[in-house]
Chains A and B, each alone.
Chain A
């Protein structure tokens, strides 16, 4: 498993096809307190391949956290979540669903599929930056990661 070193920069995988939202996230990192590696996958298949390749590679480590949008081309976010959580090599990576949906069914489904949390994506940059900051503070500073 990943070695837990506080010195090593944390890695986040974002699964998101909307370039505007990706830009917002990059912006938030640049201005934010935390420095981490950000990898972007634009769809579920890319995300899974990316994770599987890392899992097979002896010199690389899997991401510390996954931010996963529900609304993706091809496989939707819940399907991707399910695949991640069913793969023993990657199922322990915390997954935060970051979605514009807070439809009750979608939220329930996220938790049923063992998402670590479901967070609603806000519409504007400032709120988005704030949400990312709270996510970072909790997951990269407060929580112990596997």
Chain B
């Protein structure tokens, strides 16, 4: 199932500080039938710099999708989410919160802040890969992502 962006890779920004999770996500995305480029930032401050093309990220590409952990150093993922969705230039980029918390409060808060979806990270290695595959299957193959601006 082609999406309208099949001519070029899907650009993903992963906001994640756990090296194990970064590795697993990278591995899982390599299996995708849709060509994708994964960009990684490890804290909330860098996430926003990347998106705003500031500092060392002045040449950063605009992502088609953001995978966002909530528990981040320097700036919490909830704050990052809030800022993205309040920024006129950034708010249309779909954000999939991907985090270890299953707490109802975190789920509600994320949807209130206009997260496009919320996925809890499994502890099991194979389940983790499967979850990332489900995410990319839906978001890369089925969804029409917003046009690049």
Total A-B pairs, Cβ < 8 A = 82
Shortest CB–CB separation between residue A120 and chain B, in angstroms?
Answer: 5
Judged by a CB distance under 8 angstroms, whether A46 is at the interface is: no
Choose from B111, B131, B144, B146 the contact partner of A142 (Cβ within 8 Å).
Answer: B131
Give the segment of A18-26, A54-62, A72-80, A100-108 that binds chain B.
A100-108
B interface residue count range (under 10 / 10 to 19 / 20 to 34 / 35 or more): 20 to 34
Given A107-B147, A119-B142, are A138 and B107 neighbors across the interface (CB < 8 Å)?
no
Task: Find chain B residues with CB under 8 A from A112 CB.
Answer: 91-92
- Contact across chains for A144 and B143 when beta carbons are under 8 A apart: no
Judged by a CB distance under 8 angstroms, whether A48 is at the interface is: no
Judged by a CB distance under 8 angstroms, whether B60 is at the interface is: no
Task: Find chain B residues with CB under 8 A from A92 CB.
Answer: 108, 111-112
Judged by a CB distance under 8 angstroms, whether B36 is at the interface is: no
Within B37-78, which residues are at the interface with A (CB < 8 Å)? none
Judged by a CB distance under 8 angstroms, whether A36 is at the interface is: no
Shortest CB–CB separation between residue B12 and chain A, in angstroms?
Answer: 15
Task: Find chain A residues with CB under 8 A from B108 CB.
Answer: 1, 92, 146
Residues of chain B having any CB pair with chain A under 8 Å: 1, 4, 91-92, 94, 102, 104, 107-108, 111-112, 114, 116-120, 131, 134-135, 137-139, 141-147
